[in-house]
Structure 1
Amino acid sequence: MPSSTDRPLQIAVVIGSTREGRFAPVVTQWLTGHLDRRDDMKADVVDLAETPLPTVLPAFGEPPAPGVEEALAQVSPRLEAADAFVFVTPEYNHSFPASLKNAIDWHNTQWHGKPIAFVSYGGLSGGLRAVEQLRVVMAELNATTIRNTVSFHNAWGRFGADGTVDDPAVNKAADALLDQLAWWAHALRDAKSVRPYAA
């Protein structure tokens, strides 16, 4: 049986958009294509449209409303099991989707001591303003956001009919992003095996 340092990294790919007609599945399929070509990573796509969470959080100290635990059971264990994350996010009104913020806020320790990468898309900004705000939010949750990102400016014209991107620079950027994510994921996982993370 492989040791914790040998087993592939479990990467939770969180699709942040739940809007009807969303472009996120196209971007996610392209990303998972890169992940599938790696022996050191295994992707688990957490689609918030398929695993909706309640939009009203309980008051501090209060138990969740009936039915909430069943909804969380579709998402929380998968985030807990992840060694690292990639958030696939559009930009809505200079920020990221409410569905993604809701999923973040329903969780806490699942993010601690883990690295997060971002793949964003949008119009002229390519979703980068959403990424900058996510960095601030995730720092509060004791996560490490990596420097490298992949952003698709005017994303709807960047993908072919088969979902591929015919741009060597973008594909090279994806590989660099995943390389950096792997470094941080291994470093943090190894550190936690010696000393458990304490927020």
Structure 2
Amino acid sequence: MLIIASVREGRIGPTVADWFIDQIDPSDLDLEVLDVARASEPDTSELLARADGFVIATPEYNHSYPGHLKVLIDEHGPEWSRKPVMFVSYGGVSGGLRAVEHLRAVFAELHAVGTQTGVVIHAPWEHTVDGRLVLDEVAAASAREAMRELLWWAELLKPTRTSGERGAA
């Protein structure tokens, strides 16, 4: 599942998400997109529960991640457990890395696995052409590699979710 975390007016989150989807091969996946700005409570729980892993496209707001994303995370604790989470972050100079730093700690507390690789996009608003994000092959390769890692973790962790194992505390 790809989660678009931004809800602000004039946001670029959907553009970043579209770029990411264009870089991977979604034909191999049953990829669902959850836009936090349009999430509805009953459906959201079901969507999160059936996902095997998460890609979170998040901006950095005030050296952290969006408040609406925090609410989504906190309202759905068990749905994250024993699933991998990968980040596509974006922002100014930091490229959203401070948001990711905070999110890693939050997801670790929920027994989710943050992937080592991810995608960092500096000033995406400066790289849009006709409403589409245009980045170099290095960025595209990082998206593909990050997705490969997410899928690896998803397959590795899947048996622990179906068996009911909790792992060592």
State the match for 2:102 in structure 1. 133
Letter in 1 for 2:4: I
Aligned to 1:186: 155
Deviation at 1:164, TM superposition (A): 4.2
3-state secondary structure, aligned to 2:115: strand
Tell me whether 1:18 sits opposite 2:7 in the alignment.
Answer: yes
* Matching residue of 1:105: 74
Contact 2:88 2:119 survives alignment (8 Å):
yes
More helix by share: 2
Alignment-derived partner of residue 159 in structure 1: 128
Residue ranges of structure 1 left out of the alignment (5+ in a row):
1-11, 52-70
Cα RMSD of the aligned pairs, angstroms, is 1.5
Residue 158 of structure 1, CA deviation: 2.2
1:42 and 2:33 aligned = no
Between the aligned partners of 1:26 and 1:129, the Cα distance in structure 2 is: 21
Residue identity in the other structure for 2:73:
I
Residue 94 (structure 1) shift: 0.2
Query: Does residue 1:198 correspond to 2:166, yes or no?
Result: yes
CA apart distance, 1:165: 2.3
Paired residues, what number? 167
CA–CA distance in structure 1, aligned partners of residues 133 and 9 of structure 2: 22
Superposition deviation, residue 49 in structure 1: 0.8
User: TM-score if structure 1 supplies the norm length?
Assistant: 0.79
Q: What CA distance in whole angstroms lies between the structure 1 residues aligned with 2:135 and 2:92?
A: 18
Gaps of 5+ in 2: none
Structure 2 partner of 1:58: none
Structure 1 residues 42 and 175, CA gap change in structure 2 (3 angstroms): same
Q: Cα 1:95–1:178, aligned 2, differ >3 Å: closer, same or farther?
A: same
Contact 1:160 1:166 in 2 (8 A): no
How far apart are the structure 1 equivalents of 2:79 and 2:34? 14
Q: 8 Å contact 1:165–1:171 — kept in the other structure?
A: no
Using the TM superposition, give the Cα deviation of residue 41 of structure 1 relative to its aligned residue in structure 2, in angstroms: 1.8
Which residue of structure 2 aligns with residue 30 of structure 1?
A: 19
Q: Distance in 2 between matches of 1:38 and 1:14?
A: 15
User: 2:2 and 2:165 mapped to 1: Cα distance?
Assistant: 22
TM-score, length of structure 2 as denominator length: 0.93
